[in-house]
Amino acid sequence: MLDPIELLARDDKWYLGAGDGTIFAPTYPVWLDTPGFWDEATVYQYAFAPLFTITVLNAAGEEITARATSRRWTPADLTVTYKLGSGITATEVRTVHPGGVFVSEWRFACFEPTRIHLVAWTAQDGASVPLGESTWANGALRFPRVLSDRREQPLRVRAELACVGDATSWGAWRSEKSAAQPVWRYTPFVEKWRAGALPGEVRDEGINPDGMFYAAVHRAVDIEYQGASAVFAMKITADDEALRVPDATRAVRPTHGTIAGASRRRWHAWFERVPQLSCSDPYIETYYWYRWYGLHLNATAAGHGNHRWPSMCEGPGFFHQPISYSAQCHARELRWLDDPAHAQGVLRTFFGNQKDDGSLHGRVYANHLTGTDYYHADWGGALMALDAAWPDDAFIAELYPAMARFAEWMVRTRDADGTGMIDVVDQYETGQEYMSRYQAVDPDADRYGWENRLRFKGIDVTVYAYVLFRTLERYAERGGGNAARWKALATRTRDAVRDEMWDDETGMFSDVHPGAKGRTGVKAAVCFYPYFTDIVDESHVKGLKRSLLNPKLFWTDFPVPSSSLDDPLFNAEAEWKGKRHACPWNGRTWPMTNSHMVEALAATSRLGAPTLRKHTGGLIKRFVRMMFHDGDLRRPNCFEHYNPFTGHAAEYRGIDDYQHSWVADLILQYVAGVRPHERGVTIDPFPCGLEQLTLSGVRVRGRTIEVRIVGDRFTVISGGDRFESTIGEAVELSF
């Protein structure tokens, strides 16, 4: 049986988490080969650094250098081996556990019995540790710390540093400023060390809190011929209990009894909750499991029912977390779990923090590093996708009023002129910086920072609004709404897109100038968004083929670039007017956009264009292959954007596992062919050139489904029913 944990093992990764909002994923780590966790962690999207390191001393109290010789990562743990001199070797296993627990677990071996001392210690910014509140209690050094984001919004947390079992000694002191580095000789512990121990005191005093706060716990270890072990941990929790995420208790498979083993049990339990997939295409198979790792690492905290977030919802704060997730994307993917709670949770978290005027907090939507209101997304499509798999009248009734308030706000403020098309008022509302679509409206837009000076009718946001209107129309009876109201708005928007945004001569949709004064004509990937809706009909298919599938415009080696190749400001290397930028949309390939492109091709293939099915399968395969460093099967990734010609990832951003896309969902829908809808489930694999695929444990609409593909034939098993078919001939399950 495939073990996803071992399938994903590698030596060049370090991200660790337990799916509850506390993550070790420093963007530019410096101290990975230093014992413990000295690089930055994030707690509810706030930076906490450093955590702690471990220093090894000999019996005389002299430091023994620990030289790292190897590292090995899995989703569950990071294992580092060391040589310490004097014939001592050590293995450290680092893990992160629910409740904000960071664990360093050690095993030592030596040629002959010897005594060593292990000191786990931290050096915190003194000003952020309130004076007089640090204590030694219940076997741990406890101290508060006030974290702050870039908008200076505070979050008070409590840290506990402990040795699992009994500590031999401990101590904490304040000091004036020193180097915040894991260097033993810089610490006050060097001079506090007496007779093989620390003095066991907490001196949380001083004329002011400025400088450093040092805390340490010590364990004496006797290494015998059979070896020895020790475990240290730091726990970081929010003072506000409402922000804490409980660890959901689920049955897990038994394994060895170490703390690292507990991490593996949790990760195995997570992977067992998803549809089990094996495939003859190793890239698809590997990436499928890699995606489920990323989903658990980033987004599942919302599914535990924690729908209130600090500062991001209550003030002008921003998400510091170096990994990003998108609620609309995660709702699509998490719907494939064995229950809908997590998928419902991400939508509930987002709409549960709605502003009084009906608008939404972009910071909750996307962990977005700018902290601006980046909220335009396919909310209607996400809700329909979730409801297709897990129909739930109570959830629809709960979410519907909030979605309706948002739609009314959008009509009121973004379509005040009643055109049916939605305004983009600055580039941050879509999260798409540096793009010709803004220059077409104002050639000087990039000189003053883009914000709040642009206003034009955006094709992407208009499509999102259309889908939302249709969703509200569909669920009006279940949600207590007015279907006629939403039908009228949807019809007006559909007609406006067809009449005002479509250019029959170029065969493309586009943005429209302010005041609905004609199309801008800028060719961008977002111009294809109408194709994943019923806005388009057979008359639009030729335009899609002529532009999207054109290698001189969008069909590059690693498609689909955000702007067309003939755009005068197109650049494949992330440059805008000669300078490399973090988030350029003038030519890079974005996974978020590619998710939409797959949906667009798949939907259009049903409009009398069956040849697009092969292109859909091909795009999925090229999309997935792009997200492996240099095509190395052992090194999957998901960065914000890629070079459309070389596939080179934006590694300079330092943000891997960026979750603003859906990929596992595409594999399940189109490679395996499982597409739930309001009347049942369609099983219709797209041609992907596979020798075989086996999918089991799919739970949708109260049924369990298995799909087996061999060559051009496939088998569907559900309950006591078994169906045989050929690729291209769908099987319909009605229930």
- pLDDT value of residue 375: 56
Q: Residue 482: which pLDDT band, with cuts at 50, 70 and 90? A: very high
CB 479 within 8 A of CB 451: no
C-alpha of 104 from chain center: 25
* Mean of the per-residue pLDDT values of the chain: 91
- pLDDT value of residue 452: 53
Number of helical (H) and strand (E) elements in the chain, helices listed first: 17, 32
Is the pLDDT at 321 greater than 70? The verdict is no
Cα 325-476-395 angle, rounded to 5 deg: 45
CB 386 within 8 A of CB 346: no
User: Could you identify the residue written with the tokens 């000087």?
Assistant: 444
The pLDDT > 90 percentage for the chain reads 80
Is the pLDDT at 318 greater than 50? The verdict is no
CB 522 within 8 A of CB 440: yes
- pLDDT value of residue 420: 97
Is the pLDDT at 602 greater than 70? The verdict is yes
CA distances to 290, 380, 475, 621, 659 from 332, rounded to whole Å, are 16, 11, 18, 19, 12
Fold of 4-256: Beta-galactosidase; Chain A, domain 5 (2.70.98)
Average pLDDT over residues 20-40: 95
CB 488 within 8 A of CB 448: no
Reduced to 3 states (helix: H, G, I; strand: E, B; else coil), residue 519 is strand
Is the pLDDT at 250 greater than 90? The verdict is no
- pLDDT value of residue 368: 34
The pLDDT > 70 percentage for the chain reads 91
Instruction: Indicate the pTM of the whole model.
Output: 0.94
Minimum mean pLDDT range among 8-22, 282-296, 308-322, 410-424: 308-322
Burial of 498 (C-beta count, 10 Å sphere; 0-12/13-18/19+) = middle
Average pLDDT over residues 555-560: 97
Q: Where are the alpha helices (DSSP H) in 459-498?
A: 459-474, 476-479, 483-496
Average pLDDT over residues 621-645: 97
- pLDDT value of residue 305: 43
Q: Where are the alpha helices (DSSP H) in 497-528?
A: none
Q: Residue 428: which pLDDT band, with cuts at 50, 70 and 90? A: low
